[in-house]
Amino acid sequence: MTEHVRTVKAGGVLTLTLSRPEKKNAITRAMYRALGEAIDRAADDPEVRCVLIQAEGDMFTAGNDLADFAAVNSGDVAAEEARAEGNPLLTALARAKIPLVAAVQGRAVGVGVTMLLHCDLVYVAEDALLSTPFVNLALVPEAASSVLMPQRIGHARAFAMFVLGQAVDGRTAAAWGLANEAVPAGEVQARARAAAEAVASRPPAAVRITKSLMRDPAGLAERIALEGEHFAAQLRSPEAAEAFAAFAQKRAPDFSKAG
């Protein structure tokens, strides 16, 4: 595990808390691994009937730590090898057998949004802001979101979020079906915990079967693998190099010269 992911098990609920608020809860490779392993282990733990994902501080997560992406683009061998191993959180989400509940406050960026598509219940703060600016970074969607997002909110809205980087606030996320409910920021974690405890109180076998009937793990895994191939290629592209350089230099990227 890592000190940046805290785990607490109580009352049938395994709580996974992103604990890197000083870095806006940007997710590192170690955090991805810790989250993925915890979700996988939960499936075989009779004491766990629901998993709750939340975060410390005023932000859910800034998404992937861009330093990892930049390292791959620059040719760092160790970073390239780590990226080639795949993302253990995404595959764990796709095959999850235990219900997942999320509590989202502040900003949720990139994977901070796409992971919500795998959660069975999502509660967001009214003033939360959800964005998936993959194309802005010359990348492509991941976590099977290229199929899950259009299914959830429609093609036009999904395209605007992916390609234009359109951000969606908490109230809109709930109205579109990205979340079950938008509540005041100070209440979001309590509301999500109450929901997780309610799920944990239901007949566990019936809950698991119901979730399995609503999901297609094999199809999701296949889409994640396809997205991963394109993501890896883009991550090494001149477009991505320009995007990362522009981000670091706090300027607008010029993709006309990235070729």
| Average pLDDT of every residue of the chain | 93
Residue-level pLDDT at 85: 65
Residue-level pLDDT at 4: 96
Tens of pLDDT along 100-153?
999 999 999 999 999 999 999 999 999 999 999 999 999 999 999 999 999 999
Residue-level pLDDT at 68: 77
Tens of pLDDT along 6-33?
999 999 999 999 999 999 999 998 999 9
Q: Give me the helix-helix angle, 29-42 and 88-95, nearest 10°.
A: 20
Tens of pLDDT along 155-195?
999 999 999 999 999 999 999 999 999 999 999 999 999 99
Tell me which H or E stretch contains 115.
none
Tens of pLDDT along 197-235?
999 999 999 999 999 999 999 999 999 999 999 999 999
User: Can you give the pTM of this predicted structure?
Assistant: 0.94
Residue-level pLDDT at 77: 52
Evaluate if residue 1 carries a pLDDT over 60: no
- For residue 71, name the pLDDT band (cuts at 50, 70, 90): confident
- For residue 81, name the pLDDT band (cuts at 50, 70, 90): low
What sign has the CA pseudo-torsion 113, 167, 219, 204? Answer: positive
Residue-level pLDDT at 86: 75
Residue 181 CB contacts under 8 Å (≥ 6 apart), including other chains: 123, 124, 174, 191
Answer yes or no: are the C-beta atoms of 18 and 54 closer than 8 Å: yes
User: 150: which 2 tokens?
Assistant: 């259009």
Minimal CA–CA distance to 172: which of 201, 131, 144?
131
Report all structural domains of the chain as residue ranges with CATH numbers, in order of start.
5-185+203-210 (3.90.226.10)
Evaluate if residue 54 carries a pLDDT over 80: yes
User: 255: which 2 tokens?
Assistant: 């993709």
Evaluate if residue 2 carries a pLDDT over 90: no
